[in-house]
Structure 1
Amino acid sequence: MAESFKAMLIEEVEGRPRARIADLTLADLPDNDVLVEISHSSLNYKDGLAITGKGRIARRLPMVAGIDLAGVVVESRAPEWAVGDRVLVNGWGLSETEWGAYSRFQRIKPRHLTALPEGFSPLEAMAIGTAGYTAALCVLALEDHGTLAGAGEAEFLVTGAAGGVGTVAISLLAARELRVVASTGRVSEEGFLKALGAARIVDRAGLSAPGKPLQPETWAGGIDSVGSHTLANLLAQTRYGGAVTACGLAGGADLPGTVMPHILRGVALLGVDSVMCPPERRARAWALLDRDLDRARLAALTRVAPMADLPHLAEEIVAGRIRGRTVIEIG
């Protein structure tokens, strides 16, 4: 193994977190039971906040950034994982309380590992990443609630549609032959979003302003990664008995709505957490992705970049200038 290797390290400088690409050795890594050689990671909004310092993501410093990884086990003290196993990790506090993925090697707690599905390469798994895996959890939540069954020609709204969660959510819903509407502020992405399966596009401006507590019943359900007024308006526009999943807060952590949609129309708000999600539900989400995600569509929404580009890409994703999924080559 390499005597030293590159990692994106966040340290405290003059009282603030600051990220840089540093040289580490195996002796620097935490004493967890499984050593993984990482080949690929991904770029998520949370990664952008961590690297730019525009969000205090790391709860202890120093910290290696990166919430997703795919690679191969090279050492293991855990009986459930053997050398040569292909594995991935999404969440579990990586880059917050656990050293993360932007590193050639990382030591991982055994429970945090998921077997890489046979149907995916490491690059494809990271093209999906936490964003796509979260989208799958949202689809599962709507499915378990019964919202997807018998939807017919009713429309489902996906907000933040050009982002990582939104693009995969559109693809997964379209794979079920559901009618998907994409909400985005980037009207130039209409062709891209329709190629993923969106039936039509709506401007996010119509959802991001304050709205009435109850509005015309428009959507059978929705997947929201924006929060704030966008989520409140989506709930107010969801038809009787529908459901909306909430998995992000790109537009704000507040929810300026009322209980009216819930108590007068029976609309359900389903919270989706990807970080501490139990292993069994993770396995369901990855099985859904393996079954329903079109590989050609996945390739269409993916670009690949080296770890050296992370500082620039982090600024871009926080500014909302990245569409689809960005895979980071580590190895």
Structure 2
Amino acid sequence: MTTFSAFRVEIPGAGEPANSHIRHLHIDQLSPGDTLIKVAFAGVNYKDALAANGQGKIIRDYPRISGIDLSGHIVSSANRQLKEGDPVVVHGFGLGVEHDGGHAQYARVSSDWVLPLPAGLSLCEAATLGAAGYTAALALHWMELCGLSPEQGEVAVTGATGGVASIAIDILNHCGYQAVAITGKHAAHDYLKKLGAARVIAVPDLEPSGPLASGQWAGAIDSVGGAVLVWLLRTTKPEGIITAFGNAGGAHLDTSVFPFILRGVKLLGINAGGPMALRREIWNKLATVYRPNHLDDICQVISLDSLPQVTKQMLERKSTGRNVIDMAL
């Protein structure tokens, strides 16, 4: 193997905007690391779409191969616990941001970042889950640690057609919860019902009429932020639990303390990272008790060559579920 294909984000010159191209690279052009992985599949996340199109100030320095998650096989590693051919998953740790990421046929990373593929998951399933599935599972994990259970009532899921939210609906249904999908995409109602949404509703009127409104939700998984998160805080039942991890609807939160001090609502921030022990626990749940039932419906398999078009569609809010690159295509 002399060269391989990679999707790399570059700045042509000083003061010019970033752009992205398929490049043919050598291994020694990758970021340093003690472990070389032959990438089989890699997810395409909203963060990747921003980076690929020079938006959001995602990438710290250029050039950079995008892709914040990947699955593949070990080629070589300084860590004796990682054997040649072992199937593995990697996400986070600056992958695709400050370290070359998964949108390439090979990746070189630190062995400390590498998670053995849990039994029961294929490499394609692991990439379909990726950082998105980990985030969805981590959200439910913390909600249940705070006392959430299916008999307490409906759980709202905002930005419902996105990758994290789609997987969250699937997991909630698998675990016996009544998930209410909230979306502005009327054409996606059948898709969301197929994933297991008990109800699908439109994005409500977000103009506040007071610090509190009628309590509807035992819990909520929010990928939007902004006014949508404010509305969730106002409409969650006493002792309800909200997890938040997105800002597509805005980074500002204009709310009051009343949901917290009058209803005891819990607002949990979810960062798709954490120590390796927690990652192993969550990935083992994804392979067993949290395993989604509809990954085939959530996943659209694409080629590396089609990535530029797909990232633009994601930024235009024209994508649904998870796009996963098959490096063999």
TM-score, with length taken from structure 2: 0.96
1:101 paired residue number:
102
- C-alpha contact (below 8 Å) 1:185/1:205 kept by paired residues: no
Please, which of 316, 323, 329 is the counterpart of residue 326 of structure 1? 323
CA contact (8 A) 2:152 2:218 kept: no
- Residue matched to 1:118: 119
**Which runs of structure 2 are paired with 1:186-205 in the superposition (5 Å)?**
186-205=185-204
In the TM superposition, residue 36 of structure 1 has moved relative to its aligned partner by 0.4
Report the alpha carbon displacement of residue 153 of structure 1 after superposing the two structures with TM.
5.8
Query: For 1:272-331, what per-residue CA distance to the aligned partner results, in whole angstroms no more than 9, with x for missing partners?
Result: 100x31111111211121114556511111110000011110011111111111111124
| Structural mapping, 1:141-152, within 5 Å | 141-148=142-149, 151-152=150-151
Give the percent of matched residue pairs that are identical in Structure 1 and Structure 2: 37
Q: Label 1:294 to 1:80 Cα distance change in 2 as closer, same or farther (>3 A).
A: closer
Distance 1:211-1:301 versus aligned 2 partners, 3 A rule: farther
Secondary structure of the corresponding residue to residue 206 of structure 1:
coil
Question: How far did residue 201 of structure 1 move?
Answer: 1.0
Q: How far is the alpha carbon of 1:249 from its aligned partner?
A: 1.1
Indicate the residue corresponding to 1:49 in structure 2.
50
State how 1:1-331 maps to structure 2 within 5 Å.
Answer: 2-14=1-13, 15=15, 16-148=17-149, 151-152=150-151, 154-207=153-206, 209-210=207-208, 212-274=210-272, 276-293=273-290, 296-331=293-328
CA distance, structure 1, for counterparts of residue 305 and residue 211 of structure 2: 47
Q: CA–CA distance in 2 between the matches of 1:52 and 1:35?
A: 27
Q: Distance in 1 between matches of 2:250 and 2:110?
A: 32
Spell out structure 1 runs of 4+ moving beyond 6 A.
Answer: none
Provide the aligned length of Structure 1 versus Structure 2. 326
| Structure 1 residue 205, shift from structure 2 partner | 3.9
Separation of aligned partners in 2, 1:25 and 1:289: 34
Change in CA separation of 1:121 and 1:283 when aligned onto 2, cut-off 3 Å: same
Q: 1:91 to 1:265 in 2, by over 3 A?
A: same
Q: Deviations over 1:9-51 (max 9, x none)?
A: 1111242221111110011122210000001101110011011
1:213-257 CA distances to partner (integer Å, 9 max, x unpaired)?
Answer: 211111001000000000111011111111100011111111111
Conserved in 2, the CA contact under 8 Å of 1:211 and 1:229?
Answer: no
Contact 1:32 1:108 in 2 (8 A): yes
Question: Where do 5+ consecutive residues of structure 2 fail to align?
Answer: none
Please report how far the alpha carbon of residue 61 of structure 1 lies from its aligned counterpart in structure 2 after TM superposition.
1.0
Instruction: Describe the superposition over 1:91-148 as per-residue Cα deviations: whole angstroms up to 9, x where unpaired.
Output: 1111111110111111111111111112111111111111111100101010111122
Q: Once superposed, what is the RMSD of the aligned Cα atoms? A: 1.4
* Residues 308 and 34 (structure 1), Cα distance of their counterparts in 2 relative to 1, 3 Å cut: same
Q: Match for 2:234: what amino acid?
A: A
TM-score by length of 1: 0.95
Q: CA deviation at 1:71?
A: 0.5
